[in-house]
Amino acid sequence: MAKNTQGIITGLIAGFYDVQTKSRVVRTRARGVFRKNKLKPTVGDHVEIQIDDQGTSYLVKVLPRKNLIGRPALANVDHILLVISAVEPDFSLPLLDRFLTFFSWQNVAVSIYLSKSDLVNSEELADINENLAYYQKIGYEIYLSQEAVSKTLPVNIGFEQIWTLAGQSGAGKSTLINSLKEDLAQKTAAISTSLNRGKHTTRTVQLFKLGNGYLADTPGFSAIDLTPIKLNQLCDYFIEFKKASQNCKFRGCQHINEPKCEVKQLVAEGQIKKSRYENYLLMRKEIENGRLPEYLK
Ligand SMILES: Nc1nc2c(ncn2[C@@H]2O[C@H](COP(=O)(O)OP(=O)(O)OP(=O)(O)O)[C@@H](O)[C@H]2O)c(=O)[nH]1
Ligand SMILES: [Zn+2]
């Protein structure tokens, strides 16, 4: 008798889907029905598989998705680890705010990892840390070193959660992934994992187990587009603005010229970081113009 079971697609190899079930990884084929429906099973999808009497496994159903993001695409992303470099490329608050706003819009949680802190002097590092302390205050978890990531990330990845990396080109995403994989290889000292050194040529993602969940082995984002965001909703994606807006006089306050605006009040008091507000105004312009601002070209 055919047996059905559920699992998560962790990889796509030569037309086969690797599905992690409770007990093992099953290599499956998709039934023709998917081609008809144009529904493409994607890494990260929760699926149902059927194992027939001969022991052949088929992917028979894709369960509803929470989201589908990144390039290459990944389904059901729970959390982004955003890699921001101290230098090369330079630490940039406008860029940090763009990424945070984008993922807030996508309804995905974000934590921040500061890379290349070893390449700046203590003064520069103190300045960066002071900036990051604000982001920690408003609710983002910050990792200040690679050691902090390898120690704490596996603990922070919840049961069956899917995490992926994002950040500017050259920020250090692949370097971090490789170091995490090396940690794992050392811990298990079993199967020889391909460490994927150098540039990625493959365009498919693979999930590897980390903590109680998964981390994608290919970073999904290096550039983002904010222009599809609705102008009057942008302020909702600045998490501390949204919180403060409960106390703005007007519902739907855009925090521009409205009287009795709590956000503007908090900016004036220094409770909300001035650069956040300035970057909010820049993003509004970008959305109004429908194109990337000059400083990003
Ligand atoms: N000193 C130092 N160098 C680093 C660190 N992280 C990354 N690098 C170096 O920075 C360069 C770029 O790192 P990558 O990991 O390739 O960056 P990436 O984010 O994957 O870049 P893309 O593939 O272009 O998106 C490499 O030469 C790394 O060796 C770090 O923490 N310290
Ligand atoms: Zn307001």
Domains of the chain, CATH where assigned: 3-62 (2.40.50.140), 68-216 (3.40.50.300), 231-296 (1.10.40.50)
* CA atoms lying within 13 Å on the CB side of residue 197: 1
Q: Is 115 in the pocket of ligand 1 (CB under 6 A)?
A: yes
172 annotated as belonging to a binding site for a ligand: yes
264 annotated as belonging to a binding site for a ligand: no
In the chain, pLDDT over 90 holds for what percent of residues? 77
The whole-number pLDDT of residue 192 equals: 42
Q: Is 147 in the pocket of ligand 1 (CB under 6 A)?
A: no
- Please report the atom of ligand 1 found closest to the CA of residue 200: 23
The whole-number pLDDT of residue 149 equals: 97
Q: Identify residue 40 by its one-letter amino acid code.
A: K
Q: Which residues contact 154 (CB under 8 A, 6 or more apart)?
A: 210, 211
Buried/exposed code over 196-225 (b: 16+ C-beta within 10 A; e: otherwise): beeeeeeeebbbeebbebbbbbbbbbeebe
Token couple for 196: 């994927």
235 annotated as belonging to a binding site for a ligand: no
Q: Is 85 in the pocket of ligand 1 (CB under 6 A)?
A: no
Give 194-235 pLDDT, tens digit per residue.
Answer: 444 444 445 579 999 999 999 999 887 777 899 999 999 999
CA 273 / ligand 2 centre spacing (Å)? 15
Strands 162-167 and 79-85: parallel
CA 119 / ligand 1 centre spacing (Å)? 12
- Least reliable range by pLDDT among 71-80, 176-185, 189-198: 189-198
Sign of CA dihedral 70, 74, 77, 79: negative
- Cβ proximity of 105 and 229 under 8 Å: yes
